[in-house]
A and B are shown apart, each in its own frame.
Chain A
Amino acid sequence: MEFFPDVFEIFEMPEELKLLRDSTRKLVNEKLIPREREIDETGKIPEDLLNTFKELGYFGITIPQEYGGIGAGFTGYVLVQEELARTHECFNAIISANNGIGSLGILYDGTEEQKKKYLPRLASGEWLASFALTEPNAGSDAASIKTRAVKEGSKYILNGTKHFITRGDIADIFIVMAVTDPSKGARGISAFIVEKNFPGVRVARRHESMGSDVVGQAEIVFEDAEVPEENLIGEEGKGFKTAQKVLNDGRLGMAARALGTSKRLFEEAVRYSTERVQFGQPICQFQGIQWMLAEVAALIYHMQWAVYSTALLHEKRPRINKEASIVKFMATEWAWRIADIALQIHGGMGYMKDFPIERFLRDLRALRIVEGTTEIHKNIIAREILRMAG
Chain B
Amino acid sequence: MKILVTVKRVPDPDMKVRVNAEGTGIVEDNMKFVINPFDEIAVEEGLRIKEKKGEGEVVIVAIGPSVVQEQIRAALAMGADRGIHVDVDSYPDPLNTAKLLKAVAEKEAPNIVIMGKQAVDDDYGQAGQMLAAMLGWAQATFAYKVEIADDNSKATVTREVDGGLETIEIDLPAVVTADLRLNEPRYASLPGIMKAKTKPMDVFKPADLGVELSPVLELVRMEEPPPRKGGIIVETVDELLDKLRNEAKVI
A365 to B230, CA, bound (A): 39
Tell whether, in the assembled complex, residue A19 and residue B74 are in contact, meaning their CB atoms are under 8 Å apart: yes
What number of B residues sit within 8 Å (CB to CB) of A? 24
Q: What is the number of residues of chain A that contact chain B, defined by CB distance less than 8 Å? A: 28
A51 close to B (CB within 8 Å): no
In the bound complex, residues from chain B placing their C-beta under 8 Å from that of A279 are: none
Stretch of A22-30, A85-93, A108-116 at the chain-chain interface = A22-30
Q: Identify the stretch in B28-36, B93-101, B235-243 within 8 Å (CB) of chain A at 4 or more residues.
A: B28-36
> Does B224 have its Cβ within 8 Å of any Cβ on chain A?
no
- Would A70 and B73 count as touching, CB distance under 8 A? no
Decide if B191 is an interface residue (CB 8 Å cutoff): yes
Does B24 interact with chain A (Cβ within 8 Å)?
no
Considering the chains assembled together, what is the distance between the CA atoms of A71 and B34 in angstroms? 25
Which residues of B sit under 8 angstroms from A1, Cβ to Cβ? 15-18, 27, 29-31
Asked if A70 contacts B15 (CB within 8 A), the reply is: no
Chain A residue contacts of B197, Cβ below 8 A: 14-16
A72 within 8 A of B: yes
Residues of B within 8 A of A72 (CB): 190, 194
Pair count A-B, CB < 8 A? 68
Write out the residue numbers on chain A whose beta carbons fall within 8 Å of the beta carbon of B193: 16, 19-20, 23, 70
Chain A residues near B77 (CB-CB < 8 A):
19, 23
Contact A19 B14, beta carbon cutoff 8 Å? no
Q: Mark A1-40, 1 if CB is under 8 A from B, else 0.
A: 1111110000000111011101100110100000000000
| CB contact under 8 A between A2 and B30, given known A27-B187, A56-B189 | yes
A-B contact pairs, 28 of them (CB 8 A): A1-B15, A1-B18, A1-B30, A2-B32, A3-B30, A4-B30, A5-B30, A6-B30, A14-B197, A15-B70, A19-B74, A19-B77, A22-B32, A23-B187, A23-B188, A23-B193, A26-B187, A29-B14, A52-B187, A56-B189, A57-B190, A58-B190, A61-B190, A65-B191, A70-B190, A70-B193, A70-B194, A72-B194
Closest 6 A/B residue pairs (Cβ) = A57-B190, A70-B190, A2-B30, A19-B193, A56-B189, A23-B188
